Amino acid sequence: MKVIVRSILDRIRFLVRTRSALWIAFVGLVLALLPYVPRWPKWASLLIGLAGLALAAWSMFWEAWVQARVSRDYRLVERNPVFQVPPKVASPTSQVIETTRGHMVHDPVVDARLSGGWTARWDPRKYELPEKLREVAPYVLDKTTSGHWNFNGLCVRLSSDLNGSSSQDVWFQPASFFDHLCSNELMRWEVAPKGESWDIRHEFFLDREDQLNSVSNSRLANIVGCSTLAITTDDKVLVVGQTTGNHSSGGLLAPSGSGSLEPKDVHDGWGLEEVVLNGAVRELVEETGLDLTQVAGSRLTMFGRWLEKGGKPEFFCITALTVDARTADVHRRATKSEEKLYVADVEWLDLAGINQHEAVATRSSLPLTAALAALDQALAAEPGLLDKLRASRNPVM
Residues in the chain: 397
C-beta separation of 162 from 112 below 8 A: no
Strand partners, 189: 78
pLDDT of residue 129: 94
Return the number of other C-beta atoms located less than 10 Å from residue 295's C-beta.
Answer: 25
pLDDT at 4: 61
Cα–Cα distance for residue pair 312/259, rounded to 1 Å: 13
Contacts of 185 (CB under 8 A, 6+ apart): 144, 309, 310
Predicted pLDDT of residue 10 = 63
Are the C-beta atoms of 209 and 88 separated by less than 8 Å? yes
The pTM of the full predicted model, rounded to 2 decimals, is 0.82
What local confidence, expressed as pLDDT, does residue 49 receive?
Answer: 63
Q: Are 252 and 101 in contact (CB under 8 A)?
A: yes
Q: What is the mean pLDDT of each run of 10 residues along the chain (397 residues)?
A: 61 57 57 60 66 64 59 72 84 92 94 89 95 82 67 90 80 95 88 69 88 94 97 95 76 93 96 96 92 93 96 97 92 65 82 92 95 96 94 70
Residue 28: how many CB atoms within 10 A of its CB? Answer: 20
